[in-house]
Amino acid sequence: MSHLDRQRQGATDTGITRAMPLTFTTLNDILANAADTIIDVRTPAEFAGDHIPGAINLPALSNDQRAEIGTMYVQDSPFKARKRGAAMVARNVADHLDGPLRDKDGGWQPLVYCWRGGQRSGSFASILQQIGWRAETIAGGYQTFRRLVHQYLYETPLPHRIILLDGNTGTGKTALLARLRLQGVQVIDLEGLAHHRGSMLGQMPTPQPSQKAFETALACALVRCDPDQPVIIEAESSKIGRINLPPSLWSVMCAAPRVMISASLDARAAFLANAYADVTADLDDLRQRLQPMRYIKSHATVNAWEDLLDANNLKALAASLMQTHYDSAYDKARDGHVFDLVGHIHAETLDDAGLAKVTNQIAALINPAG
């Protein structure tokens, strides 16, 4: 019987349901919990900043209500604040019972948490328990989860065998990661987690997550990987957009062996023009993204790019960007880095057939026995 099962048994074997918070000591314990639903009862703003993966947000207090209670607690009276807050929580839980929880049957088992595992989650879970559901709470709430994420990424060495997928812009590295994942290879897409392609044109339609939310996604992705099998990660800088990679991962990446991918400029330009379709869909926005390069390259260079943009010659624009900026930037970033080369693969084409061939070659390189 696990420690969580013993805690649960202690909460019910007397015949009286009691709110006994569950204690989690590892990140994997929380991720492997057996609850039917994880309920984050913090405010929508707190939830948006970061939350346990898979949790739903049923706020005990709204953003405005929490601010009001906090002000009342400091400026008026803690007792009045608790009394007012209890009334708000009761009304909000009633709305959740009549709404998202309406169809839950008697066997439903939720796990409830708030910021510190205190009054909000305790009050919410108590109401659910009185109805007859085996609702449980997390000792320490979200702060317990955040501490475990921080410990995993910042306080202990990562046990994984990382292999970097390297290559200049337009060699299809992100597309190759997705194809490798479908073949059962362990992959972590850092740009996908960061919602950014890691370049001046890298902004994606969806905004970047908070640093904490990125770290949650990263830690959960890593903890789910088998440390005895290689994990493929795209070669990146230590910062993706405004997201910083944790030093533990960055140090492992700097020392990791690499698989190098190359392709002709023509093939890369065609691939990039298609892969960045969301960027080229708004030419005015793309034009604005190019403007800072006037102070890095020259006005003449950016003017030439704008001429290609005006002519809607996106493939030629992609080729020029790589020739005059991206390729030299990649070469400079690699200078001074000494790394083991697992292998070098040249892609003849970067269409579906070409990417499929390269994917098979990468898989064979990293797992020759497979």
Dist CA 109 CA 104 (whole Å): 9
What Cα–Cα distance (Å) separates residue 88 from each residue in 43, 76, 78, 262?
A: 13, 17, 15, 60
Q: How many other CB atoms are found less than 10 A from the CB of residue 92?
A: 19
User: In angstroms, how far is CA 328 from the centroid of its own chain?
Assistant: 29
H, E, C per residue of 203-233: ECCCCCCCHHHHHHHHHHHHHCCCCCCEEEE
Write the DSSP string, 71-113: HHHHHT-HHHHHHHHHHHHHHHHHHHHHTTTTT--TT--EEEE
Phi, psi dihedrals of residue 244, rounded to the nearest 5° = -100, 135
Q: How many other CB atoms are found less than 10 A from the CB of residue 349?
A: 16
Residues taking part in catalysis: 114
Q: How many other CB atoms are found less than 10 A from the CB of residue 183?
A: 13
| Largest Cα span, the chain | 80
Dist CA 141 CA 118 (whole Å): 8
Phi, psi dihedrals of residue 366, rounded to the nearest 5° = -85, -15
Note whether 270 and 315 are within 8 A (CB): yes
- Mark residue 166 as left, alpha or beta (left: phi above 0; alpha: psi -120 to 50; beta: remaining): beta
